[in-house]
Amino acid sequence: MSSPEPIALPNPPNDGITSLQYIDNNNSSSQQLLASTSWDGALRLHDTFAKTHVLTHVMECGPLLSMTSSPSSSSNKVFTGGIDGSIRQFDIATSTPSLIGMHGSNSSSSSNDDNKKAACSAL
């Protein structure tokens, strides 16, 4: 059995990748979204089915150190942890980021908010 052929996606990060994750996209059965974060501070979405670049959004926090998707499969949201201590939510449907919290060096997931728990668990 041979190895699958590697595929290069358009508009890759300009710096080191810190996270990769497939996102459950309930809005479309024809898209397979791959989200990535990197040291250049950008969240990128690629459709690996169509081999296209969907969007790049540079967060306002410097390098992104971590990322996770929403724990709810009905929600198209991505959460990122920035080097500045910010926890941000990015709504894929509206391309809207929002600051949902901050973490310190001793970050934990003891919050009662499931979205903050998911974001902190990725840190």
Q: Over the stretch 69-95, which tens digit does the pLDDT of each residue have?
A: 887 766 789 999 999 999 999 999 899
Residue 15 has pLDDT above 50, yes or no: yes
Residue 30 has pLDDT above 70, yes or no: no
Instruction: Say which DSSP state 15 is in.
Output: S
- Grade residue 117 by pLDDT with cuts at 50, 70 and 90: low
Question: Do 77 and 89 meet the contact criterion of CB atoms below 8 Å apart?
Answer: yes
Strands lying side by side in the sheet with 33-38: 17-23, 33-38, 42-47, 52-58
b/e 89-110 (16+ beta carbons within 10 angstroms → b):
bbebeeeebeebbebeeebeee
Residue 3 has pLDDT above 60, yes or no: yes
Q: What CA–CA distance (Å, rounded) separates 38 from 66? A: 8
Average pLDDT of the segment spanning 10-26: 87
pLDDT of 68 reads 92
Rounded to 5 degrees, what angle do the CA atoms 38, 13, 121 make?
Answer: 25
pLDDT tens string 97-116: 999 999 875 444 445 566 65
Question: Do 77 and 88 meet the contact criterion of CB atoms below 8 Å apart?
Answer: no
Residue 6 has pLDDT above 50, yes or no: yes
Average pLDDT of the segment spanning 25-53: 86
pLDDT of 46 reads 94
